[in-house]
Amino acid sequence: METKECPSCYADVPTVASRCKHCFHDFNEVPPKKSNNLVGLLVLLVVLVAIGSGTFWYASNGMKSERILVDAATQSIVVTRTSGSGTTTERVEFSDIEKVEYILGGETKTFEIVAVTAQGGRYIIQASGDKPLKGHAEHIASVIDKPLVEIRNITTFGD
């Protein structure tokens, strides 16, 4: 009589048997396909490396700092931006500036001094999260010799 080996208990059983007489393994049952966890793990690793590389690139090439100088000697505002890719400088002449805005409050609860050009360009000269800057805004407006416009964006609970 021909026999076959049971994959569960390794006992010899007749070839025609549909179940093992020792462990009751069903020979007609189709074994489920094993998922390849290694491929899933490899895909996850590639995604994590891509995210990490993108984050590192953004952090190294993103803007690091911005400095704004109101220079009465050259009659201009000098904007210097430093990033991972280098330093750029932009100069805005006082004659190109139309007004100086002092912005109070808003949802961000900040105070800002902004120079606005006739073409609509906006340059934040200074911002503060908790300290009013009205005296400094008046000083900047007098140095630039442009009008100071106060903008109140303060919202209350009733709005």
pTM metric for this prediction: 0.54
Domain co-membership, 28 together with 68: no
Residue 28: per-residue pLDDT? 87
Q: How far is 95 from 75, CA to CA, in rounded Å?
A: 8
Q: 43 lies in a domain?
A: no
Average pLDDT over every residue of 44-65: 84
Confidence tier at 158 by pLDDT (50, 70, 90): very low
Task: Tell me what the mean pLDDT of segment 135-155 comes to.
Answer: 87
In a domain, 106, yes or no: yes
Which tokens is 142 given?
A: 């007098």
Are 8 and 71 contained in the same domain?
A: no
Residues 68 and 142 placed together within one structural domain of the fold: yes
What gap in Å lies between CA 24 and CA 8, rounded to an integer?
Answer: 9
Instruction: Check whether residue 79 and residue 24 sit in a common domain.
Output: no
Could you give the percent of the chain with pLDDT greater than 70? 91
How confident is the model over 24-44, as pLDDT tens digits?
999 888 877 777 788 888 999
Range of the domain at 118: 64-152
Q: Residue 40 falls within a domain, yes or no?
A: no
CA distances from 64 to 88, 111, 127 (A): 12, 22, 17
Rounded distance between C-alpha atoms, residue 159 and residue 106, angstroms: 12
Question: Residue 62's pLDDT band (boundaries 50, 70, 90)?
Answer: low
CA gap 92, 79 in Å, rounded: 8
What's the rounded Cα separation, in Å, for the pair 92 and 85? 23
Please indicate, yes or no, whether residues 141 and 90 belong to a single structural domain of this protein.
Answer: yes
Secondary structure (3-state) at 110: strand
* 4 bridge partner residues: 13
Structural domain count of the chain: 2
Residue 78 lies in a domain: yes
Domain-embedded: residue 1: yes
pLDDT value, residue 145: 93
Is there a domain that residue 124 lies in?
A: yes
In a domain, 38, yes or no: no
Q: 70 lies in a domain?
A: yes
Same-domain pairing of 71 and 126: yes
* Residues 68 and 28 grouped into a single domain: no
Do 136 and 73 share a domain, yes or no?
yes
* For residue 85, pLDDT beyond 90: no
**Token pair for residue 79?**
């904007």
Note whether 141 and 77 are same-domain residues: yes
Q: Are residues 71 and 148 in the same domain?
A: yes
